[in-house]
Amino acid sequence: MNNKWNFNTIAIHSVQSSNHKCKAVSEPLIPAVAYSFNSADEAAAVVNGEKKGVYYGRFGNPTSQALEKKIAIMENGEAALAVSSGMAAISIAIMTFLKQSDHMIVTNDIYGGTHKFLSNIATRYGISYDYVDCTSIDMIEENIQSNTRAIYLETPSNPTLTVTDIKTISKIAHNNNLVVIVDNTFMTPYLQRPLDLGADVVVHSATKYMNGYGDVIAGFVVGDQEVVNYMRDNVMGDLGQVMNAWESYLILRGLKTLGIRMERHCDNARKIANFLDTNDIVEKVHYPGFKSHPQYQLAKRQMKRMGGIVSFEIKGTAQDSKHFINQLELAMISFSLGDPETLVQHPASMTHSSIPEKDLSKFGISKGLIRLSAGLEDAEDIIADLKQALENLKVNI
């Protein structure tokens, strides 16, 4: 690979290995479960890690391995692990570094699925955690305990788009022998590279922007080769969380347009945020590209652009917010994000419904909050749809 290539060239050409027999440009799809060996000794060497190779589909496949190499290059990591979902990536990262009686600091506004994993599974196995305002270094330092092993960040956060300082937090963590895990789903390596800023591990829900077409459920973990090897052999493989070859193939296809798609997502999000900010039915717009955003200057330093997500709060009740999204004609109500289609959802009753209603405010989630994932449509059409729904709502409140 040419080290002087820029991102879009890397996304298309890195790890491209033209098939020697048929000269195919696309990576081959190899869905095999079992693999043969020339001898029993060779099979044993591969299983024991003495020789590179694939021996059983639960630990990977050649198509996924090509994808892993590309993801590692894009994130500037030594190695990557392709797994069956974003939650598989998150759970693998946490279980790799924490065991019974260990403690973790978690940024206090996170994806609802991560919240549910921590409260439903991590606690069952004796892992404790504290939700901390990670925009405050003092708060982080105050919450480090003798058994703290990791700091878990999601920046920008889901759904309120809080930005945390990866570089500074990583320095604090490493001074205390802690590992920093960063969920980079909202940004992708096109807009932000946490490893370059000092983080130890990056996780992705590849279901979202990395694939980009709404037809795959997948995840990635990126980090040091030794850590990724451990995850593959002792966590992913044993729990059966491998990404299959077909979904790996689809993501390899999707990555070729990642940079181009992210530019359009960002352009549309910026235009949508500007429109919403001028509407008198909208109480507040959460968007890191606004100078009024609490971490605007940090976002400018840490992120290439401001991403494709806009969250906003509607005046009125939770029912008014639901009425608003019910009136949308182009934007679709969905739990996901990062698709070509503009998607909206009501976090309090959808993605973050696992958080008790009394605790929503602790995570910065109001009952009127709406998360919008800007699609690839013409921005004027998205804005026209939002405008008609807001006008409809204005008549009814």
The residues that are catalytic are 58, 111, 183, 208
Respond yes or no on whether the N-terminal peptide bond of residue 288 is cis (omega within 30° of 0): no
What distance lies between CA 345 and its chain's CA centroid? 17
Report the candidate in 106, 90, 110 with the shortest Cα–Cα distance to residue 364.
110
Q: Angle, nearest 10°, between helix axes 379-396 and 258-277?
A: 30
The DSSP bridge partners found for residue 204 are 220
| 338, amino acid identity | G
Q: Which two tokens stand for residue 104?
A: 């973790």
Task: Give the contacts of 172 (CB within 8 A, at least 6 positions apart).
Answer: 137, 140, 141
Is the CA virtual torsion 377, 218, 226, 58 positive or negative?
negative
Rounded Cα gap, residues 67 and 16, in angstroms:
10
Q: Output phi, psi for 241, to 5 deg.
A: -105, 25
DSSP-assigned letters across all residues of 356-384: -GGGGGGGT--TTEEEEE--SS-HHHHHH
The DSSP bridge partners found for residue 373 are 309, 343
284 in helix, strand or coil?
strand
